[in-house]
Amino acid sequence: MARFQSPEELLEVLGGFFDKVTRTPQAHLIHQVGGVIDFVYHRPEARLRWVPTPGAPEPFCVEKEAGDAPSLLVFEQDGDTAHRFWLGRLNLQDALARQLVRARGPLSRAMKLIPNLDDIYPIYAAHLKETGREGWIL
């Protein structure tokens, strides 16, 4: 059974988590990727974007719809894969090799973030607890 039961639930959970990431030290590293990062989800169908915000307090904002700015990177995956990834249970390089995650754009820029993901994974688990989804962590 799929973790996310609707696009709205996926956007609420992952969008809320991404909003929290914008206020972390790692957000500045994400901003250094140098452009818009799109996350396209299937099962359920949804899209989230990390859009750089030069001069704003947070280095990027989270959009829940396709915007006007062109995407530098696009990561496409199903909702369950995204959930496992942000829990730290799915290695990005393995997921790309097995095509659980399909990527378009200059991946070398995204790969620079990999060493910092260990600092972001606990934020997702904490977000699940805060939203009453602690059972999703098991």
Give the tens place of pLDDT for each residue, 30-46: 877 889 999 999 999 99
Calculate the average pLDDT of the chain: 91
Distance CA 118, CA 8 (A): 27
CATH code for the domain of 49: 3.30.1050.10
Is residue 26 scored above 90 in pLDDT?
no
Alpha helix positions (H), 4-135: 7-21, 26-31, 79-86, 92-97, 107-111, 117-130
- The residue assigned the tokens 């730290």 is 88
Domain that holds residue 58: 7-130
Q: How far is CA 134 from CA 1, 52, 87, 124, in A?
A: 17, 31, 12, 11
pTM over 0.85, yes/no: yes
| pLDDT tops 90 at residue 109 | no
DSSP labels for 88-126? T-S-HHHHHHTTSSEEES-HHHHHTTGGGHHHHHHHHHH
**Residue 1 domain flag:** no
Count of structural domains within the chain = 1
Q: What is the pLDDT of residue 131?
A: 96
In a domain, 88, yes or no: yes
List pLDDT tens digits, range 84-100: 999 999 988 899 999 99
pLDDT at position 90 is 94
Q: Is residue 2 part of a domain?
A: no
pLDDT (0 to 100) of residue 55: 83
| In-domain check, residue 83 | yes
**pLDDT confidence of residue 32:** 79
Here the tokens at position 68 are 């006007």
